[in-house]
Amino acid sequence: MRANGSTMPAIADHLNRSLSCVAHFLGSHKKDAVAAGLAPADWKEDMRVKAVDGINAGLTCETDAYKRGNLGVRVMVGLGYFTPDNNTNINQIINAIPPEWRERYSVTIEGPVDQPETITVGDV
């Protein structure tokens, strides 16, 4: 059932067992599978290797393997090997300044601003 994508709570409900009982059973059998070489011991390393292969395929492909490369990059970001894009908004920067310090960093204009005279091309 777990190989079909079922969650542990769904399996526990289907078998009429407690969640801790199902978790213990699956954990003990996972250890046996790792010892027998049927399951990867380090799933993160396994995913990293596949993600790197996907990135390389996306870089060298002449057709539509960019989906594979993009997925590989997203996996590497999720695993912490790459950092996600950080887009900082100016409002986030201003809001990060403590309220008592904001007067140092901002300017408040009191009233209308004098506009310089507009010079047209014919006046020059």
CA dist 103 and 101 (Å) reads 6
Q: Evaluate the CA torsion angle 61, 65, 70, 75 in order and state its sign.
A: negative
CA dist 10 and 6 (Å) reads 6
Domain boundaries, the chain: 1-39, 42-107
Encode pLDDT of 49-95 as tens digits.
Answer: 888 887 777 767 777 666 777 777 778 787 777 776 666 677 777 78
SS3 91: helix
Choose among 46, 53, 76: nearest CA to 61: 53
What is the reported pTM?
0.34
Q: Evaluate the CA torsion angle 65, 66, 67, 69 in order and state its sign.
A: positive
